[in-house]
Amino acid sequence: MCHCRCAQDARRYVQTNILSTMPCASSKSPQRAFAWRQLFLAALTQNPQTKLACKAAGISRNTAYTHLRKDGRFRRQWEHAQIQGEDAAYRLHLKQLATDPQYLRTLERFRLAYGSEGKPFLMLKNLVR
C-alpha cells in the first residue's frame, strides 16, 4: 500500500513540476514561422505565376522552391493554389474572349460555314458560355 502511494506522489510531482515547465516539441507553428507563406499562396491563387507570387510575398524564388522541396504540406498547398490560379486565369481569358471582335467574327464565319449544329461551331460557342 505504501509503495502505490509513493508511485502516485512521484507521478504527480513529475507532472506538476517537470512536464509543465518543459517546452512543447514544436513551439513554432508553420503559420507563425513563415508568415510569407499565406501571402505567397494568396497571390498564387490570383495569378499562377511563381515569380509574381514571390514578389508579392517579398521573398526570392529560391526560398519558395527550397520550402517547396522540403515541406510536403506546403507543396500540397502550393499545388492547390496554383490550380486555383490557373482556373481564375482561364475564366478571365474566356471573359476577354467573349468580348473580342475578332473571335466573334470567326465564330460567325464558322456558324455560316457549318451551320449552328456543326462541330467546330459548337466547340467554339461552348467556350464562352
List Cα–Cα distances, 53 to 2, 49, 63, 76, 87, in angstroms: 66, 6, 12, 16, 16
Distance in angstroms (rounded) separating the CA atoms of residues 65 and 42: 16
* Chain Cα centroid distance, residue 26: 24
pLDDT at residue 6 tops 60: yes
CA nearest 41: which of 83, 91, 89, 70? 83
pLDDT at residue 45 tops 50: yes
Quote the pLDDT of residue 103. Answer: 85
Q: What are the residue boundaries of the structural domains of the chain, listed by start? A: 33-96, 99-129
Cell numbers for 36: 510569407
Quote the pLDDT of residue 25. Answer: 47
pLDDT at residue 23 tops 60: no
Judge whether 64 and 40 are in contact, CB under 8 Å. Answer: yes
In the chain, % of residues over pLDDT 70: 65
pLDDT in tens, 50-107: 999 999 999 999 999 999 999 999 999 999 999 999 999 999 988 888 888 998 888 8
Quote the pLDDT of residue 78. Answer: 96
- Does residue 46 or residue 112 have the better pLDDT? 46
Judge whether 53 and 44 are in contact, CB under 8 Å. Answer: yes
